[in-house]
């Protein structure tokens, strides 16, 4: 029996996944969490074979939670769930140790297949994610200039980048990410330098042009 923990801040999503898993004889419901810290606490208590982890959550986003969990439990299969297009987070999730990336628009059969696949210790990669991964690997083999500018951002820089691009102030970002405002300002300066833009307006236009925002 594959024991699955689902972490998503929307109760209706958690309940929907629970109904999907109920149809699989080899998959059991191990619990649910509405935020990252709760998910980490439940994993630490044990009895979890696979974690379904949403990316967009309050307090700490899914990628932050993934990074911590893979440091503590490197063998735990984590399947990332998201409403974002694959090009935004799939490759970043896999680089941080996720066993797979699944869009919430996937059908129930694909979700069941994904859980079974990662539970066996294998990667679950859809054709769309495979295309993104191949592109990232291909770019990595060439000169650094071939990489899209935003791909040079670290995980934390990319978090700040998206928040700046959606109109959040330095103070708001500092509060949301539990960082000092000066630290956020430092990240902002690095982001502007790496993407070659001059201000937050140009940064937002860059994000729209590269289809990095929903």
Q: Where are the domains of the chain?
A: 2-135, 148-209
Q: Are 7 and 57 in contact (CB under 8 A)?
A: yes
pLDDT at 69 > cutoff 90: yes
More confident of the two residues 178 and 5: 5
Cβ contacts of 92 within 8 Å, gap of 6 or more? 63, 155, 158
pLDDT in tens, 111-153: 999 999 999 999 998 887 777 676 665 555 444 455 678 878 8
Work out the average pLDDT over 28-43.
95
Q: Are 13 and 55 in contact (CB under 8 A)?
A: no
Confidence (pLDDT) at 143: 45
Confidence (pLDDT) at 73: 96
**Residue by residue, what is the 3-state secondary structure of 110-162?**
HHHHHHHHHHCCCCECCHHHHHHHHHHHHHHHCCHHHCCHHHHCCHHHHHHHH
Reported pTM: 0.75
pLDDT at 108 > cutoff 90: yes
* Separation CA 189–CA 46 (nearest Å): 41
Helix (H) or strand (E) holding 70: helix 62-72
What value does the mean pLDDT of the chain take?
A: 88
Q: Which CATH code of 3.40.50.20, 3.20.20.70, 1.10.10.10, 1.10.287.990 fits the domain covering 148-209? A: 1.10.10.10
pLDDT in tens, 201-212: 999 998 888 877
Neighbours of 137 (CB within 10 A): 10
Per-residue confidence at 22, pLDDT binned at 50, 70, 90? very high
Confidence (pLDDT) at 192: 93
Confidence (pLDDT) at 128: 77
pLDDT in tens, 79-91: 999 887 666 788 8
- For the 2-135 domain, the top CATH level (class) is alpha beta
pLDDT in tens, 45-65: 999 999 999 998 877 889 989
Cα of 144 vs its chain's centroid, Å: 24
Helix (H) or strand (E) holding 31: strand 27-33
């Amino acid at each position: 029996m594959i024991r699955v923990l689902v972490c998503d801040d929307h109760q209706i999503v958690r309940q929907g996944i629970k109904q999907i898993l109920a149809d699989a004889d080899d998959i059991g419901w191990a619990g649910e969490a509405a935020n990252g810290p709760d998910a980490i606490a439940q994993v630490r208590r044990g009895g979890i074979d696979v974690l379904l982890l949403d990316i967009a959550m309050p307090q700490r986003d899914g990628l932050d939670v993934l990074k911590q969990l893979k440091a503590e439990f490197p063998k735990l299969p984590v399947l990332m769930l998201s409403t974002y297009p694959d090009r935004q987070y799939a490759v970043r999730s896999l680089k941080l140790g996720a066993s797979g990336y699944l869009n919430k628009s996937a059908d129930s059969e694909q979700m069941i297949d994904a859980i079974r696949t990662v539970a066996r210790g294998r990667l679950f990669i859809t054709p769309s994610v495979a295309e993104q991964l191949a592109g990232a690997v291909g770019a990595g083999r060439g000169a650094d200039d071939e990489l899209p500018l935003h791909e040079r951002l670290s995980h934390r820089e990319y978090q700040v980048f998206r928040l700046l691009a959606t109109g959040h102030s330095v103070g708001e970002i500092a509060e949301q990410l539990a960082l000092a405002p000066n630290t956020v300002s430092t990240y902002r300066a690095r982001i502007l330098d790496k993407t070659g833009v001059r201000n937050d307006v140009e940064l937002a236009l860059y994000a729209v042009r590269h289809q990095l925002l929903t």
